[in-house]
Chains A and B, each alone.
Chain A
Amino acid sequence: MIAKVTEAHEAPEISSESEESIVKKRRVVVPGEIIVSGEDYLPSEGTRREGMNILASRFGLAEESGRVVKVIPVTGTFIPRKNNVVIGRVTNITFNGWVVDIDSASSGFLPIDESPRFINKNEMDQFLAIGEVVAAKIWSINTRGIDLTLKSKGLGKLEGGFTFRIIPNRVPRVIGREGSMIMLIKEKTGCDITVGQNGWIWIKGQNLDDQIRARKAIEFVAEKFHVEGLTDKMEEWFEKN
């Protein structure tokens, strides 16, 4: 992972946008569908071999890069990974931190020491109260749970705007290659947008109409995950909407 200063939403993503020239056109497959036949191929993530054939074991986009065949799933739950930026909702305050629902199997914990400035233990709810939303980074995952931190650029309590969810597997699509898609949406709507790897997205704009338009644009991208060259299509979309 290259350590460079990134905005919150540019958190490490699973590179589904690899640029190998041998990559054939992706297509949508359903579980059990034969992707390729032949002994030359190697089954990778989301696929399995049965006799001569390589079958999909997930619903997603099949991709062949050289001999390796894999399926990029398009549905599924959020699996937390270290350094993911997530958007969560504060569900409880304990003596030394906040319990944050990050829409994952286990909730995250944000220790008071990981807040960006000093906070008095008696006034924790003035910094983050129950029901408030926070953009945080996953700092470690261990048997006790998921630890979060706010010590990075673009993290912290979110004020104004609203949050909504898309299917987490489609987050890379919404961000686009090197953030091209999200930059386009930000530019066209004039909204501040933070995309969490857990599928939650925060939008804040000058007025309600801009915010609604930004949400529609993002939902459109999440729906059209199977379309290639979507950034160009989005330009057209913005002319119509």
Chain B
Amino acid sequence: MCQDLRNSEESIKGGFGRMSTMDTSNLTIETLRQMFEQGKRFDGRSLKDYRPITVEHNVSNKAEGSTRVRIGKTEVLAGVKLQVGAPYPDSKDKGNLMVSGDLLPLASPRFESGPPGFNAIELPRLVDRAIRESGMIDFKKLVITGEKVWTVIIDVFPINDDGNLIDAATIAASVALKDATFPGLDKDNNVDYHIKTQNKLPLSKETFPVSISFYKLGSSLFLDPTREEEEAAEARITFGISLWNGQNMINSCQKRGAKPLSRAEVESMMPILLEKQIYLNEKLKKFL
């Protein structure tokens, strides 16, 4: 155990040097702006490159499906839990989806325990919309009887925030859904978690929703920021994107930050969006 800890790269490296509550200084923002104009980053990536992505499966033995996703030093856990519940009155022929999340203080010195703030509300909502609107889950097949439907609960927990939590959380949630298997039912159609089945959720084979967030500083757009870059950014736009009937579809979109985005800028994102969606799908294929 001691030996493991000592030799593990992360414990030796000063990787968490940027963990601090101090706000980004004007100087650093100005330097970042100049660097982005020349297409440079501190870690040597180009502006549109992602950091290495890794996925671990079955990290929780209580969840029906769970994953740990790392993008660089950003780390997110997602778990899927399945419950039997009543359908909503306005969608009696459909199952339910609930995404919840919490920004744990362990993930970043910026996060405090207490009532959820803006970011803590936004994160699960963005994940929810990216997944719900993609059509990945066939909600009609989640009906058990007229009165009982499956409720799919996704919990998202950031473990370490080094920027770009939203993209990491959406990947984690999507992979966890792919992994999830139904628990068994007893005679009265109540869940019996002691029975495990091999039945997967009714998911579309081709649809794998991911979210891609563009960040803007000055006139530069960049993807997958570190926390330092994310805090310097003036605007952000997150797209939920996936394949549906062989076509790439934008399912959701949310803009954040005070600075506007011009029409030309949004249009310039589209080819990159497509390229990155294909890239992420290819990258994640080996983990599915």
Contact A165-B40, Cβ < 8 Å, known A89-B23, A160-B27, A223-B12: no
Sorted nearest first, the 9 A-B pairs with minimum C-beta distance are: A162-B31, A222-B14, A162-B28, A131-B26, A166-B17, A133-B25, A103-B22, A223-B13, A89-B25
When C-beta atoms are compared, the residue in chain A nearest to B35 turns out to be A208
Between A and B, 7 residue pairs with Cβ closer than 8 Å are: A33-B2, A101-B23, A159-B27, A161-B27, A161-B31, A208-B35, A209-B40
List B residues 22-58 near A (Cβ within 8 Å): 22-23, 25-28, 30-32, 34-35, 38, 40, 42
Q: Is the CB of B12 within 8 A of A30?
A: no
**Measured between alpha carbons, how far is A180 from B25 in the docked complex, in Å?**
28
Interface presence of B133 (CB below 8 A): no
**Measured between alpha carbons, how far is A128 from B5 in the docked complex, in Å?**
44
The A interface, classified by DSSP as helix, strand, loop or mixed, is mixed
- Measured CB to CB, the closest approach of chain A to B18, in angstroms, equals 6
Cβ proximity bits B211-240 to A, threshold 8 Å, 1 near / 0 not: 000000000000000001000000000000
Among A7-15, A39-47, A63-71, A211-219, the stretch in contact with B: A211-219
**Measured between alpha carbons, how far is A29 from B7 in the docked complex, in Å?**
11
**Measured between alpha carbons, how far is A101 from B23 in the docked complex, in Å?**
9
Q: Which residues of A contact B279 (CB under 8 A)?
A: none
Interface presence of A59 (CB below 8 A): yes
**Measured between alpha carbons, how far is A200 from B14 in the docked complex, in Å?**
14
Q: Which residues of A contact B190 (CB under 8 A)?
A: none
- Measured CB to CB, the closest approach of chain B to A110, in angstroms, equals 15
- Please give the number of chain B residues whose Cβ is less than 8 angstroms from any Cβ of chain A in the complex: 29
Q: Is the CB of B6 within 8 A of A30?
A: yes
Q: Is the CB of A225 within 8 A of B26?
A: no
Q: Is the CB of B14 within 8 A of A223?
A: yes
Interface centre among B18, B25, B30 (most CB of A within 10 A): B25
Q: Which residues of B contact A208 (CB under 8 A)?
A: 31, 34-35, 38, 40
Interface centre among B12, B22, B30, B228 (most CB of A within 10 A): B22
**Measured between alpha carbons, how far is A158 from B27 in the docked complex, in Å?**
8
Interface presence of B91 (CB below 8 A): no
Interface presence of A199 (CB below 8 A): yes
**Measured between alpha carbons, how far is A203 from B2 in the docked complex, in Å?**
37
Interface centre among B19, B20, B30, B40 (most CB of A within 10 A): B20
**Measured between alpha carbons, how far is A202 from B25 in the docked complex, in Å?**
11
When C-beta atoms are compared, the residue in chain B nearest to A107 turns out to be B22
Interface presence of B21 (CB below 8 A): yes
Contact A166-B14, Cβ < 8 Å, known A131-B26, A132-B25, A160-B27: yes
